[in-house]
Amino acid sequence: MSYNSGNSGGWRNDGAMQPHAYDPDLHLHPELFRGVATRRVFAFLIDMVVISVPVILGYVFIALFGVVTLGIGWALFWIAWPASVIWAIVYYGASIGGASSATVGMRLMDLELRTWYGAPGYFVLGATHAVLFWVTVSFLSPFVVLVGLFNGRRRLLHDFVLGTVVINNSVRIPAPQAARTW
């Protein structure tokens, strides 16, 4: 099914593709993409700090707990890495799935993630975005970033796969909203 951005505001199931809500090739609102690539880098660095602080505190707690329990508490180190991965996935999913469709770093850099048809992000999209980013960076590191330099929307490789676009929040045009289930 695809989202109908017409006057009815409902869903349709006729198989028609929706036009891109944010299309710089049509010269509609190119300001949405000015400086996005650079600000995405800084947003990523801010998010790494936000993710790292609780992880580091967790490792320090486990180390001190191990000293207090004469080494028995150090057995918790085996769950620290999986807990760090789960924390990062939940952070990205909850942030992108939140009201602002952006992580803390993206909000500070005035960016937000949208689907290609203009709907805001949701939890599964945010979590998948993070996982796919780390997988593609692990295997195709320079290629992932280079893709963003050669397209009008400044989309990275994982953005193409997921059908997302990162835009400047302050100049965003109204776009159709996805149905929320809460």
The residue that leads in pLDDT, 128 or 9, is 128
Nearest residue to 130 via CA among 90, 178, 79: 90
pLDDT band at 33 (very low <50, low <70, confident <90, very high): confident
The Cα–Cα gap between 82 and 73 comes to: 17
DSSP class per residue in 49-111: HHHHHHHHHHHHHHHHHHHHTTTGGGGGHHHHHHHHHHHHHHHHHHHHTSTTSS-HHHHHTTE
Kindly list the distances between the CA atom of residue 139 and the CA atoms of 130, 134, 144, in Å, as whole numbers in the listed order: 15, 9, 9
Q: What angle do CA 118, 123, 128 make, to 5 degrees?
A: 90
Q: Residue 101 contacts by C-beta under 8 Å, 6 or more apart in sequence? A: 112, 113, 114, 120, 121
Q: Using the predicted structure, report yes or no on whether residue 95 has a pLDDT greater than 60.
A: yes
- For residue 76, what pLDDT is reported? 96
Count of C-beta atoms within a 10 Å radius of residue 94: 13
pLDDT band at 116 (very low <50, low <70, confident <90, very high): confident
pLDDT band at 101 (very low <50, low <70, confident <90, very high): very high
- How many Å is the maximal CA-CA distance in the chain? 68
pTM of structure:
0.79
The Cα–Cα gap between 106 and 47 comes to: 8
